[in-house]
Amino acid sequence: MTARPAPDETRDDYGENLSRAAVLIIDDEPGMRNFLIKTLGPRCKRVEQARSAEEAGEILDQVHFDLVILDNVMPGKSGLDWLEEQRQVGLFADTILITAYADLDTAIKALRAGVSDFVLKPFRANQILNAVARALDRKYLARENYLLRHELSEGGQAARGRLLGNSAPVQAVREMLTKLAPLPTSVLFTGASGTGKEIAARTLHGLSDRAEKPFVAVNCAAISADRIAEELFGVVEDGRPRKDGLLLHADGGTLLLDEVAQLPEHVQAGLLRVLEDKRIRPLGSEREVPLNLRFLFATNADLQEAVKAGRFRADLYHRINIVNVEMPRLSERAEDIVELAALFMSEFSRSLGMPALELNEEVLLKLSRYDWPGNVRELRNLIERSVILGEFPEEFAGSGRVTGTQAIETLDLVEQRHIMAVLDACGGNRAEAARRLGVARKTVDRKCAAWGI
């Protein structure tokens, strides 16, 4: 586009946000546009130029920009008049005004129009670079704060853990996530409550090339039906402050819509358009905003039944069900219970400042035999409650003296857990269990007798 400055002129002293920014320059003077392009082009991800307000409007219909640099004095209408109009139809980019006249009336009008900063003409390269860097830092800090408040309100801190376990079902999920990570494909996570659907979604995001961008999880069941549209898509309406929706805040990253079956019908229709067009139209906006976003979905409901019952759109179901990752129940991965219990015990002992309880073989065996209808979340809550009370519930209590990770991999315990899991899978049929284990029926009988079963 322009000649590249000498290497010492492009050193990054202005923060990392500059290198990932998309900037639109609107100025009728070719010399000023060329100067700004030469200054910003080598340092920003994308820089576009417009010679007039009309041309700028056409560009904004196609591309979403992080920042607009706007000349105030242009033929036809002033930059501020144009900016006020664009705010009404849907301009979400921050704006720097360049002007030779910084009188009080201009300043007040600029503040009302949402201008982030002024730069007075004439200015040097370092002045505009500092102004752009400040505006971008404020923009991304505001976004991070907004997303942090959203995550705290959703209780998302508890879901930041890793996808734990080495059982075959968990290994299969990990392999699928690794395969899906480099692709832009939408993924539907299904499974019972507490099986770790959000953790799996975060793992997928972390493996992808979007890992450094936002991950936004939205619990669709936790937002009222009359608010969820504006929370997701944003609002541009007269008499109300502009509100960027969660989709726009997550732009460039990954959005997880948890409990997607709870979306109201009108929001389902809007979501379908977003998925098909990769553009969003905030409520009250006349302009659609281009969107670069990977969508993930999660539900513990039977979406096919919801479609049959008319509660969920069939076209949306087929659009989000491209790849389905079924999360296994904890009872299907009982061999992971020891690792999970030991990790949760260590975590809560440390965070609560209380002594860890003994995880002896008797306790671990009882934990492994329990059905866990609440899955991993129920196990985690049980360990936390037990640490707080200083003892396990009576049905899980044991009398041994083996603690923490010392109990994890004793050979007898591994053998006992495995045989018990196979017996449970066979409905207690010892002959069938022996066949699956590849041992004699007498071996299973002898082991069960030794364990008092």
pLDDT surpasses 70 at 412: no
Mean pLDDT confidence for 367-385: 92
Q: Which residue has the tokens 């196609």?
A: 62
Q: What's this model's pTM, rounded to 2 decimal places? A: 0.71
Mean pLDDT confidence for 108-123: 83
294 forms beta bridges with 254
177 forms beta bridges with none
Domains, the chain, in order of start with CATH, read 7-138 (3.40.50.2300), 155-326 (3.40.50.300), 330-450 (1.10.8.60)
359 and 345 Cβ atoms separated by less than 8 Å: yes
**Considering only 76-85, 174-183, 224-233, which range has the smallest mean pLDDT?**
76-85
Following DSSP, what letter does each residue of 252-286 receive, concatenated? Answer: TSEEEEETGGG--HHHHHHHHHHHHHSEE--BT-S
Q: What was the pLDDT predicted at 381?
A: 93
Please tell me the distance from the alpha carbon of residue 281 to that of residue 32, in angstroms, as a whole number: 33
Q: What was the pLDDT predicted at 13?
A: 67
Helices (H), 155-211: 168-180, 197-207
Please tell me the distance from the alpha carbon of residue 434 to that of residue 443, in angstroms, as a whole number: 8
**Considering only 50-54, 88-92, 407-411, which range has the smallest mean pLDDT?**
407-411
Q: What was the pLDDT predicted at 145?
A: 78
Structure tokens belonging to residue 309: 């019952």
Confidence category of residue 5, pLDDT binned at 50, 70, 90: very low
Q: What was the pLDDT predicted at 159?
A: 44
User: 3-state class of 98 per DSSP?
Assistant: strand
272 forms beta bridges with none
| Dihedral sign, Cα of residue 134, residue 42, residue 55, residue 17 | negative
Structural element, H or E, at residue 46: strand 46-50
For 181-209, the pLDDT digits (tens) are: 999 999 999 999 999 999 999 999 999 99
Please tell me the distance from the alpha carbon of residue 19 to that of residue 280, in angstroms, as a whole number: 25
Confidence category of residue 7, pLDDT binned at 50, 70, 90: very low
Amino acid found at 339: E
pLDDT surpasses 60 at 371: yes
Following DSSP, what letter does each residue of 311-348 receive, concatenated? Answer: SS-HHHHHHH-SEEEEPPPGGGGGGGHHHHHHHHHHHH
pLDDT surpasses 50 at 370: yes
Structural element, H or E, at residue 34: helix 30-40
Between helix 411-425 and helix 430-437 the angle, nearest 10°, is 120
219 forms beta bridges with 258
Omega of the bond leading into 373 within 30 degrees of 0 (cis)? no
Mean pLDDT confidence for 379-395: 92
User: 3-state class of 37 per DSSP?
Assistant: helix
For 139-165, the pLDDT digits (tens) are: 888 887 777 776 666 654 444 567 888
